[in-house]
Amino acid sequence: MGPSDRRVRKKARTRREILDAALSLFERQGFDAVTVEQICQAADVARGTFFLHFPAKSALLHEWNRQLASDFRQRLSEPRGSAAAEYRMLVDHVGQHWVRHADVMGAMLSDFLTHPSGDADAEDDLRALVEEIVRRGQQRGEFRGNVSPRLAATALLTTAAATLAGAVFREGEASPEEIRNQLLHAALHGLVQPKPRIKWQPSDAARARV
């Protein structure tokens, strides 16, 4: 294994160590309160090293976005199951981090709302992953085909952002599981009440033939 391979591995390791240190600080102090200097100290890197990997503190949010998507992709089994099941798994995956890193998750999704087109060409973030699952569901006939996958992904992530920001539920009004279930139902089924199933009853003529 050559020197270039070692450099690539070292660069990736340093990048991950900076991200991990930042997430730990965000969890304790909140995203807005943490400074780049504190992150550098926690990660034991120079300020120049930080900016070599991340042009600004907000870039950590984009990196975490991609990391969440990458982690979820690794959980997808082959052959792939139903798109609806994967959609539910993704909401659960995001929800787990929601509970553990509520502040940074809120900051990440708020950044998405503030700069919705900033990562429009990204192919490895959460929005791209949701779009992929929706598109696959449409191709398999599981999801309706007259909704843009990008609209579906944006609707899911912006709703999650509004919920995390406290714009939907008051404190203590609903448990994380209840919020997750409502978010899933709104994303997959909307407000339409499912039609009641009509139990088949044989006609008099059919009963007479039995």
pLDDT score of 205: 56
pLDDT reading at 191 higher than 80: no
Give 137's contacts (C-beta < 8 A, 6+ positions apart): 82, 83, 84, 87, 143
Pick the CATH number of 1-56 from 3.20.20.70, 3.40.630.30, 1.10.10.60, 3.50.50.60: 1.10.10.60
Q: What is the pTM of this model?
A: 0.76
- Give the H or E element holding residue 178: helix 176-189
The Cα 4–Cα 11 span in angstroms is 10
What DSSP designation does 144 have? -
Cα separation of 125 and 159, whole Å? 17
Give the pLDDT confidence of 21-53 residue by residue, as tens digits.
Answer: 999 999 899 899 999 999 999 999 999 999 999
- Whether a cis peptide bond, with omega within 30° of 0, leads into 194 is no
Give the start-to-end residue ranges of the domains of the chain. Answer: 1-56, 58-189
Fold adopted by 58-189: Tetracycline Repressor; domain 2 (1.10.357)
Of 149, 71, 164, 74, which Cα lies nearest the Cα of 112?
164
